[in-house]
Amino acid sequence: MEYRGNRTALLVYLGHLMAEAGDQLAQLGGHERRAGLHERFLGWARARGGTMFHVNHQPGAEIHHTDPFAVPAGQRSPARRLRGRLAAPVTLWTAPGPAGLTVSSTLVAEGEPDRLLGLVDPESDLWAAVEEAGRFAVTPLGPAHRQLADRFAGLFPSPGGLFATGGWTDTEYGPVPADAGGWTGCRLDTAREYGWALLVEATIEAVTLAEETTPLLHYRGRYHELT
């Protein structure tokens, strides 16, 4: 296969195909059908075991709904499978710079003061920006932010940069999506290695809640909505 072993190139290629398909549907007046293109073209990528079609050329072959680069289910660790069964809110962490990262391991602990914790990639641009600025913003995402979440997770092309599209509101903690239902500004307290990630602990300094919105959830490698 042309893209075997090069997941990033495959995602970029599929992103271009999705854009072309969207333009063609728009010309045909199929605006409602455009909403399902993202799931069709890139929905598999979040799971590394989702719904990409590929063909097995062995005798009696059939089309399989799997990511060809995914770790086979039988080879995944029990802890990874357990993590997949825990529904988690999808949030966007941003910091001055700007930099950002999609995070689905955010936890708020009430107290005096209130605290926020999360697991982030220690090699991400987001962590470098947080470490330098000492502060960051966390925004809970909603169903309308699926593509934004994929973009900041590195699963969707971002020509011009991560913040080049969409509306943003500048804050001292970092830019936040203009259509977000709320966000919180945090001061970095400490961080330490935790498993393969970095456990970030922070103090909540500001909370802005514009309106109550439906959360976007991550479960079994896919986005879900409350029903």
pTM: 0.69
* Assigned token pair, 106: 């955010």
| pLDDT digits 0-9 by tens, 143-173 | 999 999 999 998 888 888 899 988 999 999 9
State the Rg of the chain over Cα: 19
| pLDDT digits 0-9 by tens, 17-65 | 777 676 666 666 654 455 566 666 666 554 433 332 222 333 333 333 4
Contact 188, 128 (CB under 8 A): no
Which domains, ranges and CATH numbers included, belong to the chain? Answer: 7-76 (no CATH), 84-225 (2.30.110.10)
Bridge partners (DSSP) listed for residue 77: none
* End-to-end Cα separation, the chain, in angstroms: 39
